[in-house]
């Protein structure tokens, strides 16, 4: 995906683009707002407002850790990387992207 092309189109045409993704890392730096869905609930705001331990812990109803390193965000639950594990279940072990 050419993120730079999408950002340019948004600026030049004054349009909004909606991405649906399991992982935010590829989109970091391009997102103005995030709608994070978890456990039948939602949180809306900037990446800094939404992708935090308190917000995601409330969404999932369990203790969530959010680690930031080298421009990446890792969402962890008891040592498991939820951003990667989330789309591996219920699909026979194959990745499923929306």
Residue 64 and residue 82 in contact, taking contact as beta carbons nearer than 8 Å: yes
Q: pLDDT of the chain along its 98 residues, tens only?
A: 567 787 788 889 988 888 888 888 888 877 889 999 888 899 999 999 999 999 999 998 899 999 999 988 998 887 666 665 554 444 444 444 43
Alpha-carbon distance of 50 to 42, in angstroms, equals 10
Residue 27 CA from chain centroid, whole number: 8
Q: Which H or E run contains 67?
A: strand 65-69
This prediction has a pTM of 0.67
Residue 88 to residues 15, 49, 82, 91, 92, Cα–Cα distance (Å)? 33, 27, 10, 6, 7
């Amino acid at each position: 995906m050419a993120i730079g092309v999408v950002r340019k189109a948004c600026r030049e045409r004054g349009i909004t683009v909606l991405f649906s993704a399991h992982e935010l890392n590829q989109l970091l730096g391009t997102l103005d707002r995030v709608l994070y869905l978890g456990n039948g609930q939602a949180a809306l705001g900037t990446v800094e407002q939404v992708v935090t331990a308190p917000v995601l812990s409330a969404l999932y109803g369990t203790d969530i850790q959010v680690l930031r390193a080298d421009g990446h965000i890792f969402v962890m639950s008891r040592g498991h990387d939820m951003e990667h594990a989330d789309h591996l279940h219920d699909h026979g072990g194959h990745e499923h992207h929306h």
